[in-house]
Structure 1
């Protein structure tokens, strides 16, 4: 999924799509031996849509039931077999391309005929078809892939699982389909290991949802058994620490009501109250104190929240929140 004209080591950091230049190759592939009805026709291809708008692929789970493609496909000929094993110069399989270009009939054929292992092939950016379906906000494609057994724990080049992407880009419906697949086995971290995985920045899904201030996503993760006090990997902050750093009092209150530990400690011993006091966020500090925060706990520098509140020069060392790599300066 690297951009045109770039070498293998020059992938644009902002790119999350691949195989766009492969559309001509995809269209030249032989048609699958299907006779789709109106429901299988799907939306127009990207090149045929007005104004470049993208429609949903509508590849729902109904494809996978009785009378689906398995019942209608005959033996594969050499051309069909070659088409199904196609791989682009970016490492995209036909399944990747079907998601990228929203070709539901091709996707249907792939899901019906390709073995389990093919669902989890990663392209040159370590993205699976499931990663792409989430990034492009195609919830029904996500549902179909998950029901066919696509892995939800594989990580892309940034360490993100499909659920990380759903939280980062706030694609709530995609997140629901990713998490509901094992709801019949119980909702806990044992059956949703992706809830515990950190990306290469040390962030778990709950941390991303918190930084986006998306309470619907946070509620969904909590309902499915995420540890509300899970620590991120760089400094040991919990979601409550991050909520304080976003200076969102309502979000802090939400996490406290949901059971967040008010005196959770970072690796340096700081509690959320330390952060609120260090940033002189009096309203948030009051909310934490009302929830029982201990104002006398000491961090590794032997400082209490009271010490930080009394010394305005302590503001800067705690001002470490960054967005897109740039520091976020706190203001009164």
Structure 2
């Protein structure tokens, strides 16, 4: 079990809390709290301390909502009857550790689907959106740990997809950073049950504290399938990031991945989009000596004579200005011939 937490810490020790140790304090739960489904009644005090893990009865795969029986044949955990809870039961189920983790956080961390299903059936929707000391919800953690079935179950029960952690990241930002395509798909395409939360689409232009929207992050990660998924779900291809005004096309140039540049141009990116300092993607490509990318941008209609705030054109920044000069007397299919590498 420490391996799961260790993986989280090694991937980004600033992103995930240290709530695993807080399981020791679960012994302080009220004696009359509900028992974990399938947990033996003997040695109740000991079992309560480890209710989120170390039980074979909690190793069942999480049922996937909407998946037909032939596609999913694993064992299922029946949802408990969601009857009225006593004050002590509600107090036990809404327990919060010293790291701010609820039982829902801990069930996700320790991959305990039976405990998670119990919480989803019994707890008020507001409890699902409690943020721990790092402002992470259970949904953030499920994405961190690449648990698409858990993400789907939480979204179905109305867990907020718009809450931001201490870095301003929503669960979808995290999915893009971690390149968890299946989790991103669940977040974008999942819909909560009636009465469980807003069914409107996510705001894909929402920026984290670094000024990055999800498409910007996916571009920096050079993940074209993820970029395509975001664009299909309404991401603004020309949205500017919040620090210097770069669009996804500017960022694709900076990755020096010609394939990403071509993909964005074919998807309709504005070839002469301006940064806050007036630079276009061609300014960046020419200034970095990226001849093949400069040629691709010029083929798409980039203007080599646009001025930035320092009165520089892409031609001024190019190592060989001739590579950006069109020759009007030579044309192929009606387009001017450009010098290439």
TM-score with structure 2 setting the length: 0.75
Equivalent residue pairs, number: 280
Is 1:168 equivalent to 2:177 in the alignment? yes
Is 1:22 equivalent to 2:22 in the alignment? yes
What corresponds to 1:69 in structure 2?
A: 79
Matches within 5 A, 1:213-228: 213-228=222-237
Quote how far apart the aligned CAs of 1:311 are: 8.1
Q: Please give the secondary structure, in 1, of the residue aligned with 2:241.
A: coil
User: How far apart are the structure 1 equivalents of 2:61 and 2:278?
Assistant: 48
Distance 1:195 1:167, change over 3 A: same
Quote how far apart the aligned CAs of 1:17 are: 3.6
Quote how far apart the aligned CAs of 1:163 are: 0.2
> What CA deviation, in whole Å up to 9, does each residue of 1:239-263 have, x standing for no partner?
1000000100111111111111111
Matches within 5 A, 1:147-162: 147-162=156-171
What corresponds to 1:58 in structure 2?
A: 62
Residues 297-306 or 27-36, more deviating: 27-36
Q: Please give the secondary structure, in 2, of the residue aligned with 1:194.
A: coil
What corresponds to 1:80 in structure 2?
A: 89
Quote how far apart the aligned CAs of 1:68 are: 5.1
Find the partner of 2:241 among 232, 238, 257: 232
Distance 1:214 1:153, change over 3 A: same
Preserved CA contact (<8 Å) 1:229 1:261: yes
Quote how far apart the aligned CAs of 1:31 are: 4.9
Quote how far apart the aligned CAs of 1:139 are: 0.6
Matches within 5 A, 1:184-203: 191-203=200-212
Quote how far apart the aligned CAs of 1:73 are: 4.9
> What CA deviation, in whole Å up to 9, does each residue of 1:132-161 have, x standing for no partner?
111111111100111111111110000000
Quote how far apart the aligned CAs of 1:76 are: 3.6
Find the partner of 1:256 among 248, 253, 265: 265
Quote how far apart the aligned CAs of 1:272 are: 0.2
Quote how far apart the aligned CAs of 1:115 are: 1.1
Quote how far apart the aligned CAs of 1:217 are: 0.4
Find the partner of 2:298 among 273, 289, 301: 289
Quote how far apart the aligned CAs of 1:116 are: 1.5
What corresponds to 2:43 in structure 1?
A: none
User: How far apart are the structure 1 equivalents of 2:287 and 2:186?
Assistant: 40
What corresponds to 2:275 in structure 1?
A: 266
User: How far apart are the structure 2 equivalents of 1:167 and 1:148?
Assistant: 23
Q: Please give the secondary structure, in 2, of the residue aligned with 1:302.
A: coil
What corresponds to 2:100 in structure 1?
A: 91
User: How far apart are the structure 2 equivalents of 1:153 and 1:14?
Assistant: 20
Distance 1:113 1:261, change over 3 A: same
Residues 174-183 or 194-203, more deviating: 174-183
User: How far apart are the structure 1 equivalents of 2:151 and 2:53?
Assistant: 19
Select the structure of larger CA radius of gyration: 2
What corresponds to 1:303 in structure 2?
A: 312
What corresponds to 1:315 in structure 2?
A: none
